[in-house]
Amino acid sequence: MPDLSIRNLHATIDGAEILRGIDLDIDRGSVHAIMGPNGSGKSTLAHVLMGHPAYEVTDGSITFRGTDVLELEPDERSRLGIFLAFQYPSAIPGVTVANFLRMAVNAHRRGPDGEGNPIRIPEFRKLLQENMELLKIDRSMTSRYLNDGFSGGEKKRVEILQMAILRPQLAVMDETDSGLDIDALRIVSEGVNQLAGPEMGVLVITHYARLLHYIKPDVIHVLVDGRIARTGGPELADELERDGYAAFGVDEEAIPVG
Ligand code: ADP
Ligand code: MG
């Protein structure tokens, strides 16, 4: 049985139907990519997965390990093990990276009743240190204010570090077309390759085939106009890179390789 099952998912924003019947299964520990032209609904799918309030699910279902995800609030989804990497992480001056990560850990340790069980500082320090070593992140990073003046690559580093520390069962990464320079691409892909494994599945969402030079997905889906138009293996990335989305009736230049 797959970890994540999406069935006939329809979703609207401001009354406009964006997702028009999505079916998707992700097995535990597998890496899937969703590619598609601009405006096809990729970010919408990521937002709907996390329960963004602007989107209304009008039909279909999402289950994660047997739990009806659509019944859950975003924080409950996160505690269930679904992680959404933010496209545009916000800066929080006054909150250090270390404190932010500790808050994230503590939010996860809260029981369903909201009862706290905060991590002890030495234990947190150890967790932080281990993961920073794993991801080769410089120590000085954690005492800086969150995303305050961070480069694109540094923001990605914090995002990956957060993912490493929370160890979600499914990481959903919506990588926008802009904003991902080569440095950031490398950080994201090295992090994903380091962390993906039998316990962590990944859904990476991207317009550009170039990300898939670094992250090798097991399965690639092409999203067009709110539906999955095709599903294939890693070889689909090369085809898209060469031909763009023309085969899907989309008039767009071949996908830049970067
Ligand atoms: P992608 O991430 O694949 O580029 P998005 O999910 O961001 O696509 O957007 C899908 C579609 O939703 C786009 O055509 C966009 O114009 C439309 N859309 C986004 N916000 C709104 C809104 N508030 N009202 C109507 N349509 C919207
Ligand atoms: Mg998008």
Residue with tokens 């709110």: 226
CA–centroid distance, 162 to ligand 1, in Å, is: 27
CA 191 vs. chain centroid, Å, equals: 12
**CA neighbor of 79 nearest in space, from 39, 45, 33, 115:** 115
Is the Cα torsion angle 86, 195, 258, 222 positive or negative in sign? Answer: negative
Q: Which residues surround ligand 2, an ion (CB under 5 A)?
A: 42-43
Are 227 and 45 contacting, i.e. CB atoms less than 8 angstroms apart?
A: no
**Which strand (E) or helix (H) includes residue 191?**
helix 182-195
Strands 170-175 and 82-85: parallel
Supply the pTM of this predicted model: 0.90
Other Cβ atoms closer than 10 A to 135: 17
178-235: pLDDT as tens digits: 566 787 888 888 989 999 989 999 999 988 787 888 888 999 999 999 999 999 999 9
Residue 37 has pLDDT above 80, yes or no: yes
- What number is the average pLDDT over the span 69-82? 92
Residues with CB under 6 A from ligand 1: 13-14, 16, 18, 36, 38-44
CA of 173, nearest ligand number? 2
> Atom of ligand 1 at shortest distance to CA of 47?
6
The radius of gyration of the chain's CA atoms, rounded to the nearest angstrom, is 18
Nearest residue CA, atom 16 of ligand 1? 39
- In single-letter form, the type of residue at position 212 comes to L
> Atom of ligand 1 at shortest distance to CA of 205?
2
| pLDDT value of residue 29 | 92
Is the Cα torsion angle 130, 135, 136, 141 positive or negative in sign? Answer: negative
- Residue 25, token pair as written in the block: 């299964």
Average pLDDT, the chain: 88
81-117: pLDDT as tens digits: 999 876 555 677 888 999 999 998 998 888 767 677 8
Domains for the chain: give ranges and CATH numbers: 4-254 (3.40.50.300)
| pLDDT value of residue 258 | 44
